[in-house]
Chains A and B, each alone.
Chain A
Amino acid sequence: MESVVAQAGLVLLRDSVEWEGRSLLKALIKKSALCGERVHILGCEVSEDEFREGFDASVNSRLIYHDVFRDPLNWSQSGEALPGGPLGALQAMCRRTDPGPVTIALDSLSWLLLHLPCPALCQALCALSQQHSCPGGGSPAEPVRVLCLLHEELHGPGPLGALSSLAQAEVILSGTMGQASAHILSRRPQQHPTRQTQWFSILPDLSLDLQGGPPLESQPHPEPHTPPVSKGAGARTRECGGGVRDSSHEQRKHPLDLQVDPTAHMTFNLHLSESERAAKDSLTLPFQFSSEKQQALLRPGPRQATGRIFYEPDAYDDLDQEDPDDDLDV
């Protein structure tokens, strides 16, 4: 995942309500900052304090935050809003003159897409991600990486397709059983696009923890219409030219390392404490013929009434004198 995401150009992080992508965005920003890059962040959806939460001081000092969140539409008329609105702020980023490799993070591209016309936004993104030399000449072109957070439920197939075609890499977030996965599609120039699925988790200090495979094979027998890069595919890189589906129904059967605990979210108690277990073991069941009961029966006490049956034959009874009932051993 790191080599794919480390390349220059536009990288889309597509998340959903269930699998949020901001923490992955922050983890990638932290990686870039620790590599010595300057990171410009266009923050539209969360406040600067909330975004900087979790980064340590060394990372925070490398982050340059352009705050669109506070007053994006200039309703407060206080003059604090960025000039030109969000589009102006985006275009200003294209014209920055910092030397050195730069990472630009857009949080989020969905917000920009809802407020700006799609063509203008695509043009601005193109201008941002293209490699260009610093003004003044002489120095070679510096790679620019643009990380964009995109909430894919908010947009139709048209804008999503347009943004996909601009992107050098797309990371689609999903997951299963509480474990997040990233489905990475990367397009390098003059090469076939590659697909890869990577399981990961984000640690509290915003470092990325890559994992080998899914925690549990939830479906040992995949359905026939499972797409080739489904969750159980593991971290394999495959060349996919022209959208050919390879027959990856041969999913590897992972051993069930982690049993799903069905009592995890139970609302009633299935376990016994020690005292409860002792009480249960010492309980005498009513129909169990224990030695105490045997002794009690052998010595009938005055309290115990022996069962006696009183029977009076009625008119319809057929008493056979040759075969009386007295010899029945009841």
Chain B
Amino acid sequence: MYPELNNLLNTTPDRAEQGKLTLLCDAKTDGSFLVHHFLSFYLKANCKVCFVALVQSFSHYNIVGRKLGVSLTAARECGQLVFLEGLKSSVDVFFRAQAEPHPLQFLREADVGNLQPLYEFIREALKPMEDGQAAWRYPVLLVDDLSVLLSLGLGAVAVLDFMHYCRVAVCWEQKGNIVALVHDSGDAEDEENDILLNGLSHQSHLILRAEGLATGFCRDVHGQLKILWRTPSQPAAQRDRSLTYQYKIQDKSVSFFAKGMSPAVL
């Protein structure tokens, strides 16, 4: 996890809020550093994490995780991390017997599918242990990323329904957290993606939006991060807060600074 981002979000692994949906989105840049941050954050917070990784392989996340101080291999072995490697297991859909439903069953279905098998997999992975002993603090679902599901043929409403059920199971029933990444297509007219992004934005408590700089690529400033705190149902004493910072991604950390205050130009 990146300590500077923790400072900006005013949170630490020990006192993170529960029952929240955090939406990560990126536009014209790669926002996956935020996924790595939250993965290591919740592993360090001693939470049970279910990671639906549809974009990269396990070793990729493991290598980055080691730089951030967590070992995904160890976490998986001791049961803290349930890792669904989409790239590998999608092939299993075709070569396995059809007896039991596969989380990515929708890949086989000819008609418009739904994500109920994936929801059941997540629910099973994050359900509290039967013996009553709480080995981990609270469950966390991490999805990287949801736009891939749209590319695989699902409709935006199906993905929204899946996230709805995940919110019921994880955020409401078990007071856990969900972090999901959605790409913003920006200028490209992608109505389904816009419906997914806006629909999830309305349900989120925190939106982190990584954008490329409007002026193009820069060696010292990799992008801009907009943080928006939302309260979907409760009016807060202070209005929804929004902050904007610029960042530079380094090998093991990300440094944040106010707009125009990059150390390279000062």
Contacts and interface: CB of A to CB of B under 8 A. Distances in A.
A binds B: yes
A51 interface: yes
Interface stretch (B62-70, B141-149, B180-188, B231-239): B231-239
Interface in B161-191: 161, 164-165, 168, 172, 191
Contacts of A72: 161, 164
Contacts of B207: 17
B202 A20 contact: yes
A54 B234 contact: yes
Given A204-B237, A267-B257, A20 B231 contact: yes
Nearest to A151: B202
Contacts of B202: 17, 20, 45, 110, 151, 154
B175 to A, nearest CB: 11
B235 A23 contact: yes
B203 A45 contact: yes
Contacts, number: 84
Interface stretch (B10-18, B91-99, B193-201, B217-225): B193-201
Nearest to B230: A20
B90 interface: no
A49 B199 CA distance: 21
Interface residues of B, number: 34
Nearest to B237: A204
Interface in A136-161: 151, 153-154, 156
A101 B217 CA distance: 61
Nearest to B169: A76
A53 B231 CA distance: 12
A242 interface: no
A75 B165 contact: yes
Interface in A54-94: 54, 69-73, 75
B74 interface: no
B249 interface: no
A132 interface: no
B198 A115 contact: no
Contact of B172 (A47, A114, A266): A47
Contacts of A69: 164, 168
A73 B116 CA distance: 10
Contacts of B258: 266-268
Contacts of B247: none
Contacts of A154: 195, 198-199, 202
Given A75-B165, A154-B195, A17 B201 contact: yes
A22 B237 contact: no
A267 B239 CA distance: 20
B227 to A, nearest CB: 11
Nearest to B194: A153
Contacts of A17: 198, 201-202, 207, 228, 230
Given A17-B201, A154-B198, A26 B164 contact: no
Interface string A106-144: 000010001100000000000000000000000000000
A39 B161 CA distance: 27
A265 interface: yes
B55 interface: no
A45 to B, nearest CB: 7
Interface in B237-256: 237, 239-240, 243
Interface string B63-85: 00000000000000000000000
A300 interface: no
A202 B235 contact: yes
A53 B201 contact: no
A241 interface: no
A203 B203 contact: no
B83 to A, nearest CB: 24
A204 B233 CA distance: 11
B138 interface: no
A17 B235 CA distance: 14
B143 to A, nearest CB: 18
Interface in B77-135: 114, 116, 119
B160 interface: yes
Interface in A165-212: 178-180, 202-204, 206
B233 A23 contact: yes
Contacts of A204: 235-237
B199 A53 contact: no
B3 to A, nearest CB: 16
B150 to A, nearest CB: 15
Contacts of B233: 22-23, 26, 46, 50-51, 53-54
A206 B236 CA distance: 10
Given A23-B231, A54-B234, 8 more contacts: A20-B230, A22-B233, A26-B233, A47-B168, A50-B232, A206-B235, A266-B258, A267-B261
5 contacts: A27-B235, A50-B234, A75-B165, A110-B199, A204-B236
Q: What 7 pairs between A and B have smallest CB-CB spacing?
A: A202-B235, A23-B235, A153-B198, A17-B201, A267-B258, A178-B239, A22-B233
